[in-house]
Amino acid sequence: MVQWLEEVLSVRTFWEGAASAGPISPPFPTGTVLGATEGGFDIYVVPKDSPPLKTAHPQWSVLDEIQDVTLLLASPKEQQGAVHLTIGIPGHQLDSGTVDLINGWAKVVYAPLALRTTFPNIDVHGRTGVFPGLTDTVWINVFLEADGGGFYARQFTLQGPDLLIPPQETE
């Protein structure tokens, strides 16, 4: 039987030599990923043969404007449980939390304009800078801990306005 296993991974970095801005001198930078909750973040791992969370979205689609991105997820079997989520961009954890699975479905929302109040580096000036639009590479990782004991996961990637949902081996 597979169980939820929660391990804490601590990472400590140190500087030796110069950085792109030149030599570094004490006090050296310390900390964790920006936006991390309680100094850390979740990494979701499921058994290789686990079916993925289902989604109603195609493998590739384009978002025409700056908007909340609502992702629909379904349990592989009609189960109940909690969907854990982590949303990030390189070097930053933007959001994390849990949403309920209701009648086998859950909604996860990436809200770039709301998150931009905390993370002003979220770019909403489009790829060309002429028209507004999503620009950043954003990953949205989701993990279902089903009441029946199953574990399922899926990753979504936004590359600017392109929503990419790669197929998983078990699909």
Q: H or E segment at 113?
A: helix 112-115
- Give the pLDDT of residue 11: 62
Residue with tokens 């000036």: 125
The rounded distance, in Å, linking the Cα atoms of 125 and 134 is 7
Of 13-17, 145-149, 160-164, the poorest mean pLDDT is in: 13-17
Q: Which fold has domain 34-164?
A: Immunoglobulin-like (2.60.40)
- Asked if the model's pLDDT at residue 13 lies above 70, the reply is no
Domain boundaries defined on the chain: 34-164
Supply the mean pLDDT for the chain: 84
Structure tokens at 54: 């289902």
- Give the pLDDT of residue 9: 63
Q: DSSP code of 52? A: P
pTM confidence score: 0.82
Backbone angles phi, psi at 26, to 5 degrees: -60, 150
Backbone angles phi, psi at 121, to 5 degrees: -80, -5
- Asked if the model's pLDDT at residue 29 lies above 90, the reply is no
Q: DSSP code of 112? A: H
- Give the pLDDT of residue 80: 84
- Give the pLDDT of residue 83: 93
Instruction: Tell me what the mean pLDDT of segment 63-86 comes to.
Output: 89
Beta strand segments in 20-167, E? 22-23, 54-55, 60-62, 69-74, 81-89, 92-101, 105-110, 137-146, 151-159, 162-164
- Give the pLDDT of residue 2: 47
Quote helix, strand, coil % in the chain, to nearest 5.
Answer: 0, 40, 60
Q: Which residue has the higher pLDDT, 115 or 171?
A: 115
- Asked if the model's pLDDT at residue 92 lies above 60, the reply is yes
